Amino acid sequence: MQVLEAFEPFEIQELELEVWRQRPVKNNFFELVLIKEGRGTQCINYNLYTYNKGSLFLLPPFKCHSFQIEEPTGFIFLKFTSNFFYINGRDASVQSDWFNQAAYILSNYNQLPGDIIRNELDRQHIYSLIDLIVKENKNYQSSSLTLIRSLMISILEILLRNIKQSFAYEVADNVGKDDRIIKLLTYINENLNNPQLLRVEQLANTFLLSPTYLSEFFRKKVKMSLREYIIKAKLKLVEIRLLNSDYTLTEIAAELSFTDVSHLSKTFKRYTGMSIREFKKQGKYQLLKRNSC
């Protein structure tokens, strides 16, 4: 087993394993894992997916994943840590935007098993970027941090593109794939900070549906009301910001269009069953959490 030196604000590991060993898990952003060689089965939430050379997965920040190794497997893990997005000065706003994009990925990726990349050209792009990152990490110099950060941002952009084109949203299993609901969920999650765009009348107008039909269509596909989905989607982002950023409650409330901190706090407790203070003390996701594997 080889573990590459970890450089904050990201972590890179290269492992050769014959038997899976549970790795330390932190409440952080996701990891991207590339299968260099070998074959076996990935398990997330009791769902199984066969892997082989070239497979690419996103791993959630919980102990709900494992790999059943059938032949010796080479893994490369790239962890996007919260510190990855902490930059002061003139680049702070840019990194804040990327934090929001990373939060989008984590809050919308359903953590079902399976290869995350839908586009084979994007797969080749990621292979090349990971290869550059590993080589640069092995020959780390003073200038490597900036280069590796840039390469990982490129990977983040490719992941975001594939997430938005996928069926990774929490859609009811018995209704089949429907491109309209994917577009609707993408639109909602991209506009959580703009409540005017999420009013049912506005959504109906945007997607050329009647308000009544849109509400019924949404409930059938997602198994919850539009209002409940929007609230939970916002609270998932609240969880990510509370555990992975230095955003104040006032900033979080304003960004996600809660009336004020009191409104945010009451809503958070209603849906998670605990206060924000209790949540931060426990340090574990609630709405983002999935069953153990």
91 and 232 assigned to the same domain: no
Q: What is the CATH number of the domain that holds 184?
A: 1.10.10.60
- Cα(283)–Cα(200) distance, integer angstroms: 34
- Cα(203)–Cα(68) distance, integer angstroms: 44
25 and 127 assigned to the same domain: yes
Q: What is the CATH number of the domain that holds 106?
A: 2.60.120.280
The structure tokens listed for 149 are 């950060």
117 and 244 assigned to the same domain: no
The structure tokens listed for 176 are 């089949």
133 and 184 assigned to the same domain: no
19 and 59 assigned to the same domain: yes
Residue 230's domain spans which residues?
173-282
Q: Is the bond into 9 cis (omega within 30 degrees of 0)?
A: yes
Report if residue 2 sits inside a domain: no
95 and 23 assigned to the same domain: yes
Residue ending a domain, choose from 121, 143, 164: 164
**DSSP code of residue 2:** -
Report if residue 116 sits inside a domain: yes
**Cα end-to-end span (Å), the chain:** 24
For the chain, how many structural domains are there in total?
Answer: 2
93 and 193 assigned to the same domain: no
Report if residue 119 sits inside a domain: yes
- Cα(77)–Cα(82) distance, integer angstroms: 16
Sign of the CA dihedral with 64 first, then 70, 72, and 75 last? negative
Report if residue 287 sits inside a domain: no
Residue ending a domain, choose from 164, 192, 208: 164
- Cα(112)–Cα(117) distance, integer angstroms: 13
What residues pair up with 14 in beta bridges, in sequence order?
76
Residue ending a domain, choose from 136, 164, 192: 164
Report if residue 39 sits inside a domain: yes
Report if residue 1 sits inside a domain: no
Q: Per-residue pLDDT for the chain (293 aa), expressed as one digit of tens each? A: 344 444 466 788 899 999 988 776 654 677 889 999 999 998 876 678 889 999 988 877 766 678 899 999 999 998 877 777 665 544 556 667 777 888 887 777 665 557 878 788 999 999 999 999 999 988 888 788 888 888 988 998 898 888 777 655 555 544 456 788 888 998 998 899 899 999 999 999 999 999 999 999 999 998 999 999 999 999 999 998 998 888 899 999 999 999 999 999 999 999 999 999 999 998 888 887 655 44
